[in-house]
Amino acid sequence: MIRILAVDDDEQILRLIRNALMREGYDVTALADPIEVKRLRLEEYQLILLDVMMPGVDGFTLCEEIRDSVDCPILFLTAKTDEADIMKGLGLGGDDYITKPFGIGELRARVAAHLRREGREKKHVISIDGVRFYLKEKRVEYQGTEFTFTRSEYAICEYLAMNHGQVFSKDRIYEHVFGYEKESDNSVITEHIKNIRAKCQKAGLEPIETVWGIGYRWK
């Protein structure tokens, strides 16, 4: 389920946002206090709505503080439409503005449009069926367990997971992981896959499937 975070000090607007988006099937977290945002696992959200004018911490400041931790679209909710304000917000990492007052139809349409277009390369965290890849740290967790993958094992897992469902040959995997073509001795990939599976099985996980005669894929 797509998770959306909405932050606005106006409780009435928060209720409107929550009710409108929940009817579309989204899981909505609504906060009136921007300070509470820092206590959340922001990487779990697919879109964030921030009010610009909030006491204590305004939306621009909050966006600047969290942008390095999230990849998802950040949309500002604001009555300020000056070009300078718009440029400032976008320069801090915002993706778009929704001008107050706004209608439910516009809110739903703008949110849906950004989610459809959300194809940016992930830089921080991806989650696939509970397996979380922390891309900067090059580490993987599943249900609180962190795997002790080698650098090559991690690279194989990330490559397959980022393209989950697709089947890749040993040659293709080798070329991606090690950076050049190798026509022989694909046993190195076989051995890495064997080690990855052994480590995953200890956590009750079997994510890599063999497609006989073709290669491997992340299920």
**How do residues 16-68 score in pLDDT, each as one tens digit?**
999 999 999 999 999 999 999 988 988 889 999 999 999 888 999 999 999 87
List the chain domain ranges: 3-117, 125-218
Q: Do the Cβ atoms of 114 and 96 come closer than 8 Å?
A: yes
Residue 182 has pLDDT above 50, yes or no: no
What are phi and psi for residue 126, nearest 5 degrees?
Answer: -125, 150
CA R_g for the chain: 21
User: What is the rounded CA–CA span in Å between residue 202 and residue 149?
Assistant: 13
For the domain covering 125-218, report its CATH number.
1.10.10.10
- pLDDT at residue 186, rounded to an integer: 66
Asked if 177 contacts 129 with a C-beta cutoff of 8 angstroms, the reply is no
| pLDDT recorded at residue 31 | 95
pLDDT tens track for 68-97: 788 788 999 988 767 677 778 888 888 888
Question: What is the signed CA dihedral for 65, 70, 75, 76, rounded to 10 degrees?
Answer: -10
pLDDT in tens, 106-147: 999 989 888 877 655 556 788 888 898 988 888 899 988 899
Regarding the domain delimited by 3-117, which CATH topology (the fold level of the hierarchy) does it fall under?
Rossmann fold (3.40.50)
pTM of the predicted model as reported, rounded to 2 decimal places: 0.58
Longest dimension (CA), the chain: 65
